[in-house]
Amino acid sequence: MPSPDPADIKAAVDSALAEDLGQGDITTNAVIPEGTRLKLVLTTRQDIVLAGLPVTIEVFRRLAPDATITMEATDGDTLTAGAVIARLEGPAAALLSAERTALNFLQTLSGIATLTSTYVERIDGTGAVLLDTRKTLPGLRALSKYASRTGGATNHRMRLDDGVLIKDNHIAVAGSAGEATRRAKAAGLENIEVECDTIEQVKEAIAAGADSLLLDNMPPEMLVQTVELVGGAVPLEASGGVNLATIRAIAETGVDYISVGAITQSAPAVDIGLDLEI
């Protein structure tokens, strides 16, 4: 699993530390004597798929560059409750000041990877591929998509400039799915995906030369009908209203992809602790 881009890590850590530290950790500076050192252990308190270690370690390195960090797990590992992720030894004040920011990243990103892996398990054997979306916390797009990829999803569009997706509002303004598709092609765009809510829109988009279709909020029976109608001519992506209870039935309709915004938009943070090692 490739690590996140260093530039994305730097940007995220810069912002997070500025947000959390302000003018400094006044509590730690008052309570912890200068020169105090300690040993800490980073442990998961629930079953997880681990994600976010590179950015978490960067937080500790920023504030405690001389700390010793011993890794006992790596991103992508499936860990059970009680598993040790890492051990840290170094200046007490710096490590304690970094604690919350580091845990915020690791808990959030591991939460995304953990939920993603559950969705991937639900569609195992169907041939459908899980996609993430642009529904991410502002400023954490790259790291969130790294976490979903760690959990087994495939990244869809990172930004508005790296893929064409004609959505319902584009279609409403253009007048029809066919007309919106024709305009995109006339502009020289390639790999055009068109969102379709109805079978009629599917027919229009295909006739106009769409390269793939996003089938939005279609019930399974309509998805089956669309799969049969298209006959493999273009890839089909199902989206809208997808959850853990419905995704298996959607996958079994024969669609190629299923996109789920929840894996990056509303994954619950997992419980990971940083405790004094005794």
DSSP three-state, residue 79: strand
Condensed to tens digits (0 to 9), the pLDDT of residues 107-141 reads 999 999 999 999 999 999 999 999 999 999 999 99
pLDDT for residue 240: 93
**Secondary structure, 3-state, 85-117:** EEEEEEEHHHHHHHHHHHHHHHHHHHHHHHHHH
DSSP 8-state symbol, 125 = T
pLDDT for residue 277: 87
Catalytic residues: 100, 135, 167, 195, 216
pLDDT for residue 110: 98
What is each CA distance from 248 to 119, 198, 257, 258, in whole angstroms? 9, 22, 12, 10
Question: What is the spatial distance between Cα 147 and Cα 65, in angstroms, rounded to a whole number?
Answer: 25
Condensed to tens digits (0 to 9), the pLDDT of residues 159-182 reads 999 999 999 999 999 999 999 999
Condensed to tens digits (0 to 9), the pLDDT of residues 176-216 reads 999 999 999 999 999 999 999 999 999 999 999 999 999 99
H or E element, residue 196: strand 192-196
pLDDT for residue 1: 61
DSSP three-state, residue 64: coil
pLDDT for residue 3: 81
Condensed to tens digits (0 to 9), the pLDDT of residues 22-63 reads 999 999 999 999 999 999 999 999 999 999 999 999 999 999
Q: Using CB atoms within 10 Å of the CB of residue 92, give its burial: 0 to 12 exposed, 13 to 18 middle, 19+ buried.
A: buried
pLDDT for residue 182: 97
Asked whether the beta carbons of 69 and 19 are under 8 A apart, the reply is no
Question: What is the spatial distance between Cα 178 and Cα 202, in angstroms, rounded to a whole number?
Answer: 9
Which of these CATH numbers, 3.90.1170.20, 3.20.20.70, 3.90.1170.50, 3.40.367.20, describes 6-120+267-276?
A: 3.90.1170.20
- 199-234: b or e for each residue (b if 16 or more CB lie within 10 Å)? eebbbbbbebebbbbbbbebeeebbeebbeebeeeb
pLDDT for residue 13: 97
Task: Identify any residues that bridge with 71 across adjacent strands, giving them in sequence order.
Answer: 86
Mean of pLDDT values over 232-258: 97
Q: What architecture (CATH level 2) is domain 154-259?
A: Alpha-Beta Barrel (3.20)
Condensed to tens digits (0 to 9), the pLDDT of residues 89-108 reads 999 999 999 999 999 999 99
Mean of pLDDT values over 237-242: 94
Every domain of the chain and the residues it spans: 6-120+267-276, 154-259
Q: Which two tokens stand for residue 244?
A: 């853990």
pLDDT for residue 103: 98
Neighbouring residues of 162: CB distance < 8 A, sequence distance ≥ 6: none
Question: What is the spatial distance between Cα 33 and Cα 55, in angstroms, rounded to a whole number?
Answer: 28
DSSP three-state, residue 278: coil
